[in-house]
Amino acid sequence: MAKIKTIFFCNECGHESAKWLGQCPSCNQWNTFVEEKIKPIKNTSKGLGSEKNEPQKLSDIKMEEDKRIETKIKELDRVLGGGIVIGSLVLVGGDPGIGKSTLLLQMCKHLAAEDKKVLYISGEESLKQIKIRAERLDIDANNLLLLCETNLTNIEDIVKKNMPDVMIIDSIQTMFKEDITSAPGSVSQVREVTNTLMQLAKGLSISTFIVGHVTKEGSIAGPRVLEHMVDTVLYFEGDRHASYRILRGVKNRYGSTNEIGVFEMRDKGLVEVNNPSELMLTGRPTDVSGSVVSCSLEGTRPMLVEVQSLISQTNFGMPRRTATGTDYNRVVLLMAVLEKRLGMQLASCDAYVNIAGGIKINEPALDLGIIMAIASSFKNTPIHSKTIVFGEVGLTGEVRAVNMAEQRVIEAEKLGFDVCIMPKANLKNFKPSNTIKVFGVENVTEALSIVR
């Protein structure tokens, strides 16, 4: 019998060690090592790409456009870069109950209607449970094959027998290989299962979607190498108690990264939101201090969001600083700019900053909006509801240029805004508009003087 040995794996990067370590020497993360028992197996089988390849000249390689399969869900196609690339491996992650399985099942409905053979493999639900969800979503497709299986060896045989166009694995943490002695969901199992699925997807030209659970920190459970192996990584964001969801692409070898798609959860499943800016501003109060509209750029899509701030005198020696939906350290930095450059005494005040709607934005173009919201709440002076501001703020109080400023203004113009405060550097190649008045500012002082 082969000797079973114990190896410690890092949950973040997959680094192996013969003993437990407090800090991973590869990714420098603390307390990420887990113990697993490994039984060495001699692998004599040949992989799908095991044949020898000869090097080719760059000039001799013929270019072919990546064939894509449209899902008929425009928001999903946008995030994928125009559709599903044949033979690609896509990882979909998100909190439990956020809508991962619902979206993929709806995608199966549209693909099956286009005469595409789809194989949905579930390791968490029975066939009857999937059938109940399919009836709720009004899905009845003859080309949709369902399978409840967790043994990857059996899955390989079924896939090679049926040869589907699209395959869905729900979820990767439930699948296991018999050659690996560790439990399903462990670092070894997740890595080996993903490697096998990658060989199937590339060797048989099967577009594969993998559902992955997330940890409490919001990252995909399992080793970080899982995200490196796949072609595309999609994250489902948003509060599951709210009605809308945001599908964000954080990695895409076949399209732009950080692209988002917006959906709304209803009784019949996820429905596309064609105008997310209007959704984010629904219910916004008017003539209230501490509220201002700013514009963020998610991929190629400008989106208007409401920045809220509440400044109040603290009752303790140490004032509180809270940021929801944006970077906490960035908010503290911008408050220091207001104290130093404008003389606002914020050291004795509690400060709360919130991006309404639950969306998370870390773009620097939101800096000026945060500055204006904090100043408005501190002075208790409302900013006109039809005013939009955006721009990056430096430590000296200067307002720096942002990219695609004209697209941001056009989006604000569509929603009826009549005043725009933006960096002066962006006005060089800017085409003036008759419906919205644009003010270019060089520093924070100029921006605040316009809204007084």
The 3-state DSSP composition of the chain as helix, strand, coil percent (nearest 5) reads 30, 30, 45
Rounded to an integer, what distance in angstroms lies between the CA atom of residue 233 and that of residue 252? 7
Rounded to an integer, what distance in angstroms lies between the CA atom of residue 9 and that of residue 6? 10
The stretch 306-329 carries a mean pLDDT of: 92
Tell me if 94 is assigned to a ligand binding site: yes
Tell me if 101 is assigned to a ligand binding site: yes
For residue 302, the surrounding DSSP H or E stretch is: strand 301-313
In the predicted structure, residue 140 carries a pLDDT above the cut 60:
yes
> In this predicted structure, what is the pLDDT of residue 218?
53
211-236 in b/e form (b: 16+ CB < 10 A) is: bbbbeeeeebbbbbbbbebbbbbbbb
> In this predicted structure, what is the pLDDT of residue 44?
44
Residues 6 or more apart whose CB falls under 8 angstroms from that of 228 comprise none
DSSP state of 4: P
Percentage of residues in the chain with pLDDT exceeding 70? Answer: 91
In the chain, where the domains are located: 5-38, 66-274, 279-451
Tell me if 100 is assigned to a ligand binding site: yes
Asked if 66-274 and 279-451 have one fold, the answer is: no
The label of the residue with tokens 């500055």 reads 371
Which of 395, 403, 340, 337 has its CA nearest to residue 371? 337
Task: Give me 138's structure tokens.
Answer: 């009004």
Tell me if 165 is assigned to a ligand binding site: no
Tell me if 96 is assigned to a ligand binding site: yes
Burial of 24 (0-12, 13-18, 19+ CB in 10 A): buried
Kindly report, residue by residue over 21-42, the tens digit of the pLDDT. 899 888 888 888 888 776 655 5
CATH of domain 66-274: 3.40.50.300
Kindly report, residue by residue over 268-304, the tens digit of the pLDDT. 889 998 888 888 888 888 889 999 999 998 877 899 9
Please tell me whether residue 260 adopts helix, strand or coil conformation: strand
pTM of the model: 0.77
**How is domain 279-451 classified at the CATH fold level?**
Ribosomal Protein S5; domain 2 (3.30.230)
Tell me if 382 is assigned to a ligand binding site: no
Residues 6 or more apart whose CB falls under 8 angstroms from that of 52 comprise none
The stretch 165-172 carries a mean pLDDT of: 92
For residue 166, the surrounding DSSP H or E stretch is: strand 166-170
> In this predicted structure, what is the pLDDT of residue 374?
96
> In this predicted structure, what is the pLDDT of residue 49?
47
Kindly report, residue by residue over 93-128, the tens digit of the pLDDT. 888 888 899 999 999 999 998 889 999 999 989 999
Tell me if 203 is assigned to a ligand binding site: no
In the predicted structure, residue 232 carries a pLDDT above the cut 90:
yes
DSSP state of 343: -
